[in-house]
Amino acid sequence: MPSSPLEDQFADVMAVLPRISRLGSSLNRGELVERALRASGVSLDRPSMTVLMSLRMADGPLRIGEIARRMEVAGPHVTRLVHELERRGLAKRVADPDDRRARLVELTPAGADAATGYMHGIFGWFGEALADWSADDLRTLGALLSRLIDDLSAHAARTDDRTG
């Protein structure tokens, strides 16, 4: 069956999409997140661990709104997650030194340990899977993935601006 002009124009993009789908399937089959969650040493769901990882990757404590922005979710959702993390002793609210009315969220030592265990679970899984890759191949992969994410994020923002 002959291809359409649109299919010809986007043939390279169309060739990439199944590979992205296969990547997601491979990560799911490998139970990467589940393995990493177990490695964290605490029983958490994905969204709660995402809050801990947002705090772990930050330069310091964050406002709820900033955590929500990084997670790309609504603030009230993060507020509920932070409340549960506080109850479990994994995060705590502290005063914002720049605005005494505002509160920031930071990891407790137990929360930092959980986030570090999770990261080690992720790194270990990828390290084993990519053990035979050269340093150049890993750098190239990192650069291309960064470019892909940046371009997709920028496109999504432009699309949101047009439709929102």
23 inside domain: no
Tell me the mean pLDDT in the region 96-114.
Answer: 90
Tell me the mean pLDDT in the region 54-67.
Answer: 92
Residue 154 has pLDDT above 60, yes or no: yes
Confidence at residue 164, expressed as pLDDT on a 0 to 100 scale: 57
- Residue of higher predicted confidence among 56 and 102: 56
Cα separation, 146 vs 140, whole angstroms: 10
Backbone angles phi, psi at 99, to 5 degrees: -155, 100
CA distances from 66 to 73, 74, 104, 117 (A): 10, 10, 10, 23
Strand partners, 105: 62, 93
86 inside domain: yes
This prediction's pTM: 0.74
Residue 29 has pLDDT above 60, yes or no: yes
Q: Give how many domains the chain has, as a whole number.
A: 2
Q: Are residues 90 and 63 in the same domain?
A: yes
